Structure 1
């Protein structure tokens, strides 16, 4: 029984780790954004990497595993935002694994038989394996537990599902080792020499003092600037690399019609709840009443102050038994609450238990009879701890003598909590729950405070069919008249606000102002620019009609797509030329920065102790071009006009302050090397991704 209990405790974690081991820690959060337009192709082909097909079946399997792992580890509800995150993460993992596996295979990187054996069953196994077989008290690897587990897997009675999961786990561990070797091989080629160390040292420690005068771009009104096509083209050509689109993006305009509950709907549901009050007050079986009449079937448990809805907290601890509160609106539902009981009870309990499985014992009656026999043995002096190790099917506690530690209210299921908190230290109880038959011993009880048991009946506040129909009819009327040419005019006529969702990727689940809008996204990636949706989308409590306004294809975006986006920068470029001309005129026949400033109508600003590695001008922000030019200049010479981030500058260097000479470059080289190593792994993936031919068909599947 011991090994089976251990398996039940550990296999869940091992199964979860199988999912994540396809990537190393350094690439777990790496985001590879690759995409293409909506493609035709194999009905099961969700993507392709360098000619290798990624099937939807494989992707879906990995996504299900990732979702289960997330749910187990976080306990959170899977929201549309989380779904989108998991889809993107799963896709990135598959792409990364395909890219790295190709390199591993190309170089012939392997994990030998002796190395594999050492990683799996050696004295110092792979960390992923060691963590699963560590002592929970010390955190140290327990070789005996690993050997026991491996022996079990080789036995005839081994569970095939557990054996399969373990084999998958081992495969991923070995694949992960190959990737480690590849990364080490590539990053091992990095080298930092003494000149690199000296340059880095000077960039961080050499100081410069200078004076500058400047005129901000904002000083020239936009109304005075007239942009030409040549202006746009010049800026675009100089910054073309900045307009690389990693995946296809689309933008929509949309209008929504509110189908949320009306005042009449709210009043009707409130009345419905009010009608339950007389029967609720007269009920002698409150638990059954809640099960029959409430939308939320919550168990009735004792709670202390601070655990309930604030509105109940303020009244129930001073009310009499049978008191009815409500109707009140909370969390989108109308509710009524009844005080069933109140008492003074402990805040926490220390206990231990033995759990019997009725099925294994031949039925519930036999399990209870066996529990009574074990109880008599304990009362007769037998060791509870030894009996727990022998009989309890809850091996997580059984291996510790049945110890459950100390727990507060709400930590256990209601039946167990009632038994533990409604007794006194030393009590030995036999009772049943959905898990089986328990022999519970209360060891300690701490604290003392008032607790209440409150039954709550709720009815969700939802829109009536009348409200929904009215909103839908308005949406239908708009859809029947709107087209690509009059969408905005029709919206204005109906008093509707047009909202925008820009730069949507093909797998998005949420849009600006819309949750769970996957259907809208799928339509957008099938539509042509200018199309108005041919259907009304239901998104939460809204009906939505949309128009596709923009398609940004993968690759370098054309000028016409980014023209509006770059307009502010193009204006600054044109202003910069004007201001540079003004400064050039001021520089003529000027011998000092003060003369230049006087002619240009600007001020002189002294700057102290600037370093090349941190090119920030106090009060102005980052000025990379300015500071870079300063460090390449000679003292006491007027510079040419420099078109910076915020405006145009002219400067003169007063002096440089050199740091003490770098006599030992070892530490500096180590620091640079560590930084390069940290960056190299991500850059390796970036390089592989840029070189790869990736097709992304997710938009038509998800």
Structure 2
């Protein structure tokens, strides 16, 4: 017998309250991260043999598309869509992995737990949101009526499934959290670290003071560094490509058209009785505001409004791709109230953007047929070059583009792309070179290694120099004078600080300070940009006896969140690395 059947008692039928108009739809779509996913007729991919259907992928993309359109008031651009497509894929893969892990651990939810989430004394927030009264209690009569109404049977089946999955997710989260408990010792150590402080004096020895000519780097030094640091020279798959672009910027004709349209609206704006409605009707780029402002605070761009009479509109103002009309509403001795109506100069979607898209499409077709260079020369286009690395959507000279990376990651050398629409341009690219993942050859990184080895030797030379001077001078002032350096001080530095006032970011130096006692002077400490000799003038150690229950709870919560965040990210990545993930998106979505 199903859960909802167990709930149906002998309560009389009452009028159904229309409370599911938005709530159920939102919940059912927004919380399906751990839902039992439907199987479609075509597999977009698989996770350890369990398919990801094209239907479930499309359903989630449709949800995000509607959500984006509702929040932004506009349609997704191709680039935004590509980013969401990647996000949806990762969510579906992660959801499968976590579901499989819950099955492996035997995490289940009983019927009674689901009943309690819906009709128990402390129901799920979704139920409370839909059936809550103003006084914070639950309208039990309306809830029971909704459960018993035959027309809601399918809805309640879906709600039951969602509640079961939500509870299962909570159990999984609790299971993981139980392995990440923060001990009293950790809390106390964090308290001590935050509240122990020191006053110091120090002498700073910049590495740059070591003359490069005093450093000798041999071929053996370079080879030894290369052999001892192989991980530094691991490279991901990378791509070099050429591309041509077709600009989507407004033309002179677009600008003239927008100016003409705005000028025609000037008299209507002056006559408008409801300025807010006027701005909304003509989609003003500047939101409605009609507050008094001091005349002295009126920005220079808006200053023409000071020279017109009340009820009048200024001449057209142009600034950085936007046109303005200003309407003065009221003026006092030192204040003025006015409304700003503005519109951006945009490229005409047909005369400009579609025309450029058509040019890009034509180029792509003929470049594929006749050759990229041949078509470039025939059209006298400018060719640009770019470099990209797998796993990084940022492309120098272009910016973020998931679309370009999707193409590169599935293309062969010499492949010419279809037209790719970016925010300000259409591009067509040709893959020039694909460098597979691996270790970079010594000769290619030799110059980089030379710089690193030189810097390392320079650091060691300065550390040795600082130690020598310290051994020859007993006090800090004498040391500073012998080194021709300034004796600096810093007060109340805490263990969890990263910056020394006057010396910059030096976490390693700060860590070394708290290994000293009051009155102790350090040996040379290797900092980021300099060597340091430090003396602890006063050390104030925190006493855990002063740790209050409230502070203890706060620190525990912060450490728990930090530990959980780090653990979950690593745990998910490990699940992915161990999983057999089949990805057919290239065949079904990008072909």
Counterpart CA distance in 1 for 2:234 and 2:515 is 31
3-state DSSP of counterpart to 1:602? coil
The runs of 5 or more residues in structure 2 that have no matched partner are 1-12, 35-40, 266-271, 289-304, 324-338, 340-345
Q: Which residue of 2 aligns with 1:141?
A: 138
CA contact (8 A) 1:197 1:665 kept: no
- CA RMSD for the aligned pairs? 5.5
Q: Specify whether residues 107 and 545 from structure 1 end up closer, same or farther in structure 2 by C-alpha distance, changes over 3 A only.
A: closer
The answer to whether the aligner puts 1:20 opposite 2:30 as a matched pair is: yes
3-state DSSP of counterpart to 1:10? coil
Q: Specify whether residues 187 and 261 from structure 1 end up closer, same or farther in structure 2 by C-alpha distance, changes over 3 A only.
A: closer
- 1:598 pairs with one of 477, 481, 495: 481
User: How far off is 1:628 after superposition?
Assistant: 0.9
Q: Which residue of 2 aligns with 1:304?
A: 275
The answer to whether the aligner puts 1:613 opposite 2:490 as a matched pair is: no
Q: Specify whether residues 85 and 571 from structure 1 end up closer, same or farther in structure 2 by C-alpha distance, changes over 3 A only.
A: farther
Counterpart CA distance in 2 for 1:538 and 1:469 is 12
CA contact (8 A) 1:193 1:669 kept: no
Q: Which residue of 1 aligns with 2:99?
A: 101
Larger radius of gyration: 1
Of the two structures, which has the highest relative contact order with CA contacts closer than 8 Å and spacing of 6 or more?
Answer: 1
Q: Which residue of 2 aligns with 1:671?
A: 554
Q: Deviations over 1:75-102 (max 9, x none)?
A: 5543445434533443343233223322
Counterpart CA distance in 2 for 1:636 and 1:117 is 67
**Equivalenced residues, count:** 515
CA contact (8 A) 1:208 1:655 kept: yes
The answer to whether the aligner puts 1:527 opposite 2:411 as a matched pair is: yes
The answer to whether the aligner puts 1:575 opposite 2:458 as a matched pair is: yes
Q: Specify whether residues 626 and 47 from structure 1 end up closer, same or farther in structure 2 by C-alpha distance, changes over 3 A only.
A: farther
Q: Specify whether residues 266 and 481 from structure 1 end up closer, same or farther in structure 2 by C-alpha distance, changes over 3 A only.
A: farther
Q: Which residue of 2 aligns with 1:400?
A: none
Q: Specify whether residues 99 and 522 from structure 1 end up closer, same or farther in structure 2 by C-alpha distance, changes over 3 A only.
A: closer
The runs of 5 or more residues in structure 1 that have no matched partner are 25-42, 281-300, 335-450, 452-457
Q: Which residue of 2 aligns with 1:426?
A: none
Q: Specify whether residues 303 and 696 from structure 1 end up closer, same or farther in structure 2 by C-alpha distance, changes over 3 A only.
A: farther
CA contact (8 A) 1:196 1:669 kept: no
The answer to whether the aligner puts 1:586 opposite 2:469 as a matched pair is: yes
Show the 5 A alignment for 1:500-519.
Answer: 500=386, 502-503=388-389, 505=391
User: How far off is 1:642 after superposition?
Assistant: 2.0
3-state DSSP of counterpart to 2:352? coil
Q: Specify whether residues 630 and 265 from structure 1 end up closer, same or farther in structure 2 by C-alpha distance, changes over 3 A only.
A: closer
Counterpart CA distance in 2 for 1:207 and 1:149 is 62
Q: Which residue of 1 aligns with 2:298?
A: none
Q: Specify whether residues 621 and 250 from structure 1 end up closer, same or farther in structure 2 by C-alpha distance, changes over 3 A only.
A: farther
Counterpart CA distance in 2 for 1:563 and 1:170 is 63
User: How far off is 1:605 after superposition?
Assistant: 1.2
User: How far off is 1:212 after superposition?
Assistant: 1.6
Q: Specify whether residues 116 and 211 from structure 1 end up closer, same or farther in structure 2 by C-alpha distance, changes over 3 A only.
A: same
Counterpart CA distance in 2 for 1:597 and 1:189 is 51
Counterpart CA distance in 2 for 1:106 and 1:311 is 54
3-state DSSP of counterpart to 2:123? coil
Q: Specify whether residues 113 and 647 from structure 1 end up closer, same or farther in structure 2 by C-alpha distance, changes over 3 A only.
A: same
CA contact (8 A) 1:626 1:644 kept: yes
Structure ranking higher in helix proportion: 2
Q: Which residue of 2 aligns with 1:151?
A: 148
The answer to whether the aligner puts 1:649 opposite 2:535 as a matched pair is: no
Normalising by structure 2, we get a TM-score of 0.67
Q: Which residue of 2 aligns with 1:176?
A: 166
